[in-house]
Structure formats: structure tokens, C-alpha cells
Chain A
Amino acid sequence: NAGVMQNPRHLVRRRGQEARLRCSPMKGHSHVYWYRQLPEEGLKFMVYLQKENIIDESGMPKERFSAEFPKEGPSILRIQQVVRGDSAAYFCASSAGRSSYEQYFGPGTRLTVT
């Protein structure tokens, strides 16, 4: 049973470009969460999605960031016009349900903005 998959594992973008990060949840999981980890920091919640719905985006920056989890295919975290401060590790987690279900983390995508 494959775990949570993320790709790419490493992504380099120049300032002003777009970054697209993909997350495939564990088989049978329909709940996806995105977290960001800045260097030397803990993970910070960004957004929680179920298939085709954003449930909680309270941790998402108001501009340039968006997330989706379509009916088919992986969840996508999109960052438009990246800036150096967006350089971080972005982790996806998935779960089988809300609240009482454990979240399983993927390997992360390390974004570097040059």
C-alpha cells in the first residue's frame, strides 16, 4: 500500500515564476492537508481539502497561493509569482476522515526560489 506521494521532491523556481506541487493521498483517503515548513521551524497548517471542496484555508496566504483537490487526480498547491520567502518544504498529509483520523505525511517538496 503506497503511502502519500508528492512530486516533485525538489523544485527550483526563479522569482516571478509559478510553482505547482502535487500530492497523491494514500489509497482510500479522501482528505488532504497541506503544511509549510520554513527552515528551522515546525510545520504550519495551510489548507484542508476534501474531494472538490476546500474545507479550511485559514492558513493560506491571501494572495498568490491556491489549492485544489479535483475529483480525479492529485491535489495541487499552486504558488503564483513566487518570491524568495516562499522557499520552504511543503508537506502534504492525507487521512481517511476528519478529526479522529490520523494524518499520514508525504515526503515533502522542497521549493527553492532563486
Chain B
Amino acid sequence: ELKVEQNPLFLSMQEGKNYTIYCNYSTTSDRLYWYRQDPGKSLESLFVLLSNGAVKQEGRLMASLDTKARLSTLHITAAVHDLSATYFCAVSRDDKIIFGKGTRLHILP
């Protein structure tokens, strides 16, 4: 059974700091996703990672994928308050997407 584990589940950090969210998954998958969700809202797709060594960056967020270690990271650089949200890692296999529990990120001004 494909499982996705994220850590940490909660993260409170100061503006301007850097931090990394980790995502481990249990078996091979087709692709890996990172989503952002604001309270009461739907999912916003941030990154789709397809192959080993893939790295994508958008603004202060950078995602990477190591398929051999079954590990993805979401790195936040010089955090700003607007990045406060819940971030989900997810992997797809056999038509369905399996989500982690999410990392609730709170950035203090």
C-alpha cells in the first residue's frame, strides 16, 4: 500500500528564516505533487515532479525529488507571512493521488 508521510506536521517560524518540509513515500509512484491549501479553500498546485533529481523553483519555494530515497523536499527561503498555509505532498499511482497529512506552516511577522 502506498503511504505518504510528511514532517513536520506543524511548523511555526519567523519571517526571513529558511526551512525544509520533508516527504517520504513508501513505494514507487508515477509523479509527486506539492499543493498549498489556505483555510477553507481548495488545493493550489505548486509543483509536479516527474523524475529523479528533478528540482523546481517558484519564488521562495523550491521542490526536489529523489526517487531512489523516495524523498521529496519543499524548501522555503526567507519566509514571508503570505506563505502561511498548509502544504501537502502527494504521489500518484494507478490513477489515484495519495496525500500526506499536510504540514501546517505558520509564519510569524
In the complex, the chain A residue whose C-beta lies closest to that of B96 is A45
Residues in A with CB closer than 8 Å to B88 are 42-43
How many chain-B residues does the 8 Å CB contact rule pick out? 20
The verdict on A99 contacting B101 (CB below 8 Å), with A105-B43, A108-B42 known, is: no
Residues in B with CB closer than 8 Å to A35 are 97, 99
Could you tell me the distance in whole angstroms from the C-beta of B101 to the nearest C-beta in chain A? Answer: 5
Residues in A with CB closer than 8 Å to B41 are 107
In the complex, A48 Cα to B94 Cα: how many Å? 10
Residues in B with CB closer than 8 Å to A93 are 97
A43 B99 Cβ-Cβ under 8 A: yes
B96 touches which of A56, A100, A107 (Cβ 8 Å) = A56
Residues in B with CB closer than 8 Å to A52 are none
A 89-104 contacts with B by CB, 8 A? 91, 93, 98-100, 102-104
Could you tell me the distance in whole angstroms from the C-beta of A37 to the nearest C-beta in chain B? Answer: 9
Residues in B with CB closer than 8 Å to A61 are none
B interface residues with partner A (beta carbon < 8 Å): 4, 30, 40-43, 45, 48, 88, 90, 92, 94-102
